[in-house]
Amino acid sequence: MHYATLKTQYAQWLQTLGFSAHSVYGYPNMLHYFFNYLFDNGIFSIAHLNSTHVTNYFNYLQNRPNKRRNGALSTAHLNKSFDAIDKFLEFLQHHGSLNSPQPTQYRIIDTDSAQRIKVLTKQDITILYKGVENMFTHMSLNSIMPRRALATLLLDLCYGCGLRKSEAYYLQVTDVDLDKCMLFVRQAKGYKDRHVPMSAAITQRIKLFIYQYRKTFKANHNRLWPYSLVAMPDYFNLLRRDSGLQAPATLHTLRHSIATHLLQNGMSVEQIAKFLGHSTLDSTQVYTHLLQHNDN
């Protein structure tokens, strides 16, 4: 009953923090297996929990055979279990259990996934933004400025706001809240809406684009991006060429890059997942593995 009550309170806490329904359901279930392990090893009260018990459980999971198929538990499953336990330790401390173990931050590095992801450095991003000034130099000033503003818009949406290419393309002018510095992304991946914050600088640039430059493209629709979807990577490749960026990159690389840079700046995985619109932490956790892989 003691552990059952904690499991219920933990789920309610996750829900209060705004975790996805998937995590609110899945994390307590993973905690259930942890409680079973503690009970089987004679730990009948959470007050007796220490860091050795947590470490031993993590080792147990990594050596335990998979009951559904041959082999061990997958890296994704293990990391999700470790994250669920870490959040539970956070939960205990949040509720005044000062003697409970600290979250471990232990994760298994998924080197295959981490190596497949390519990110740009902050210096590379600076090169791209500065490279806008080298675009369309053969045109008249009246033609140059709107097109450069459009190139900057692409960077602001896909890097500064972390949007997927399709999200940036379908974004409506009416989805931009300049007063609140927010974008409303409709029916994103997984058919979920979300709000994405904009920095003050990005808000001002998008405001200028809407009120001064967008009309020059004579778009017959209400999307913020005036051209076709296929024009987006073409525009980005033109920017890459004119900026002199040597690193290979696509529009999705910008999304990977902002996630990595936010993590480097100290933003939590949960906040980054919300920012990117990930339905589970599995997708976001790979950036942690990426940083660990690069550090090694």
User: Residues with Cβ < 8 Å from 233, sequence gap 6 or more?
Assistant: 165, 250, 251
255 among known catalytic residues? yes
Q: Which residue of the set 32, 53, 77, 189 is catalytic? A: 189
The full DSSP string for the chain is -HHHHHHHHHHHHHHHTT--HHHHHHHHHHHHHHHHHHHHTT--SGGG--HHHHHHHHHHHHHSBPSSSSSB--HHHHHHHHHHHHHHHHHHHHTT-TTSPPP-------HHHHHH-----HHHHHHHHHHGGGTTTTS-HHHHHHHHHHHHHHHIIIIIS---HHHHHH-BGGGEETTTTEEEE-S-TTS--EEEE--HHHHHHHHHIIIIIGGGG--SS-BSS-S-STHHHHHHHHHHHHHT--S---HHHHHHHHHHHHHHTT--HHHHHHHHT-SSHHHHHHHHHHHHHHH-
Q: Which residues pair with 72 in a beta bridge?
A: 65
The single residue of 164, 205, 214, 240 carrying the catalytic annotation is 164
Exactly one of 165, 170, 287, 289 is catalytic; which is it?
Answer: 287
Report how far apart the first and last C-alpha atoms of the chain are (Å, whole number).
Answer: 44
Q: Which of 53, 118, 194, 252 is catalytic?
A: 252
C-alpha span between 82 and 56 (Å, rounded)? 12
Options 7, 80, 255, 289, the catalytic residue: 255
261 is known as an active-site residue? no
Active-site choice (205, 256, 278, 289): 278
User: Is residue 252 annotated as part of the catalytic site, yes or no?
Assistant: yes
Tokens 């994390």 identify what position?
A: 27
Catalytic residues: 164, 189, 252, 255, 278, 287
